[in-house]
């Protein structure tokens, strides 16, 4: 029987435990990504035995001005901007309150976090019921005109309805992250600011926020990624309506590939969107990291 040294045994264990996960990740992520790169160069309806190779025609068609993709990009950009601002501002505000010694602090943290652990599809259906029937019932009881608006049927209002649901569902997660960041701030720094005569507002903007920069970077980056890939909520709430006004890029890719059976063009859209997401995340990450260094 061959006796192995302790270091060799650890290396073998590391490899043996890593291989299964690498196989699963490759099957579910890397291989499909490479295949989508190939399909983007083809014309394929998902049924034909062999895709027809057409080179970069799908990309040329896309850059010549695909109106659906352009509209989806504009909607996704607006949604991402509003989602990032509202989510982070609300999360920081709630975290500042909940980090204080309140009797119901733990209960409130749990209440805010519960929506995040729910399925986005379920959240979408719940809010669809609220917008369509819940508000109608409240309007009959109260007579408030705002409850009688067509929140999912009006082209001007549906954007804010979708954004509201997205923020409501995820704000609890970011609250938890900001609470962790606030609790990590040294108390002696805040006490020194108080001794120097700083009021609550000055301490928050000139002491707390700068020291919270690492948490802000993490939350802004995560909210950016989550907003760009929005899909489930819109599919459950509006399915892209009314009049295609809530088609996100991911929903447009889904429609192109799985509803129009145009897998080649859908794959091309997916690759272009992947590049956009990668570029935006790098810009945001470097920008916020630079501010952390300055601080």
What is the pTM (predicted TM-score) of this model?
A: 0.90
Domain of 209: which CATH number?
1.10.3720.10
Q: Is residue 6 included in any domain, yes or no? A: no
pLDDT tens for 44-89 read 988 888 899 999 999 999 988 888 999 999 999 999 999 999 999 9
Q: Rounded CA gap, 114 and 168, in Å?
A: 10
Per-residue pLDDT, 295: 47
According to the per-residue pLDDT averaged within each range, which of 4-8, 16-20, 202-206, 220-224 is highest? 220-224
Q: Rounded CA gap, 254 and 247, in Å?
A: 10
Smallest CA-to-CA distance from 125 within 245, 231, 232, 227 is with: 232
Q: How many CB atoms are closer than 10 A to CB 17?
A: 9
**Is pLDDT at 247 greater than 70 in this prediction?**
yes
Tokens representing 236?
């459950």
Per-residue pLDDT, 3: 60
Segment 263-292 shows an average pLDDT of 91
Contact yes or no for 87/167 (Cβ under 8 A): yes
CA distances from 177 to 88, 114, 188, 270 (A): 11, 15, 22, 30
Give residue 2's pLDDT band: very low, low, confident or very high (50, 70, 90): low
Q: Return contacts of 32-37, CB within 8 angstroms, 24+ apart.
A: 36/267, 36/270, 36/271, 37/267, 37/271
Per-residue pLDDT, 248: 94
Per-residue pLDDT, 279: 95
SS3 state of residue 53: strand
Q: Rounded CA gap, 86 and 171, in Å?
A: 9
**Is pLDDT at 4 greater than 90 in this prediction?**
no
Between 179 and 66, name the one with better pLDDT: 179
Q: Is residue 91 included in any domain, yes or no? A: yes
Q: Is residue 284 included in any domain, yes or no? A: yes
Q: Rounded CA gap, 114 and 169, in Å?
A: 8
Q: Is residue 8 included in any domain, yes or no? A: no
289's CB contacts (< 8 A; 6+ apart) are 217
Tokens representing 51?
């895709």
Burial class (CB in 10 A: 0-12, 13-18, 19+), 224: buried
Q: Rounded CA gap, 237 and 87, in Å?
A: 20
pLDDT tens for 99-118 read 887 788 888 888 889 999 98
Per the structure, the count of domains in the chain is 1
Segment 236-251 shows an average pLDDT of 91
> Which of 143-152, 223-232, 247-256 is least confident?
143-152
Q: Is residue 53 included in any domain, yes or no? A: yes
Q: Is residue 281 included in any domain, yes or no? A: yes
Give residue 143's pLDDT band: very low, low, confident or very high (50, 70, 90): confident
Segment 179-204 shows an average pLDDT of 86
Contact yes or no for 246/209 (Cβ under 8 A): no
Segment 260-265 shows an average pLDDT of 92
- Give residue 71's domain range: 15-294
What value does the mean pLDDT of the chain take?
A: 89
Segment 197-210 shows an average pLDDT of 86
Q: Is residue 277 included in any domain, yes or no? A: yes
Q: Is residue 2 included in any domain, yes or no? A: no
**Is pLDDT at 294 greater than 70 in this prediction?**
no
Q: How much helix, strand and coil, in percent to the nearest 5, is found in the chain?
A: 75, 0, 20
**Is pLDDT at 1 greater than 60 in this prediction?**
no
């Amino acid at each position: 029987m061959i006796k192995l040294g302790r270091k060799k045994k650890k290396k073998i264990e590391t490899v043996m435990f890593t291989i299964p996960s690498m196989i699963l990740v490759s099957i579910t992520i890397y291989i499909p990504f490479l295949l989508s790169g190939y399909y983007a160069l083809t014309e394929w309806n998902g049924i034909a035995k062999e895709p027809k190779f057409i080179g970069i025609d799908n990309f040329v068609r896309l850059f010549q001005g695909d109106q659906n993709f352009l509209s989806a990009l504009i909607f996704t950009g607006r949604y991402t901007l509003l989602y990032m601002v509202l989510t982070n501002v609300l999360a920081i505000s709630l975290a500042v309150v909940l980090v204080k010694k309140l009797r119901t602090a733990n209960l409130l943290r749990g209440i805010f976090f519960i929506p995040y652990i729910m399925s986005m599809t379920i959240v979408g259906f719940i809010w669809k019921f609220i917008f369509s029937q819940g508000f109608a019932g409240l309007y009959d009881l109260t007579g408030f005109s705002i409850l009688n608006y067509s929140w999912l049927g009006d082209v001007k209002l549906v954007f804010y309805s979708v954004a509201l649901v997205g923020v409501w569902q995820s704000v609890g997660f970011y609250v938890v992250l900001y609470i962790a960041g606030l609790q990590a701030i040294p108390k002696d720094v805040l006490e020194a600011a108080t001794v120097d005569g700083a009021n609550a507002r000055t301490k928050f903007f000139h002491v707390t926020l700068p020291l919270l920069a690492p948490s802000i970077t993490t939350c802004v980056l995560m909210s950016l990624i989550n907003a760009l890939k929005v899909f489930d909520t819109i599919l459950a709430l509006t399915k892209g309506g009314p009049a295609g006004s809530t088609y996100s890029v991911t929903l447009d890719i889904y429609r192109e590939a799985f509803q129009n059976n145009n897998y080649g063009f859908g794959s091309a859209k997916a690759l272009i969107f992947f590049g956009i997401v990668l570029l935006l995340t790098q810009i945001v990450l470097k920008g916020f990291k630079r501010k952390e260094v300055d601080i």
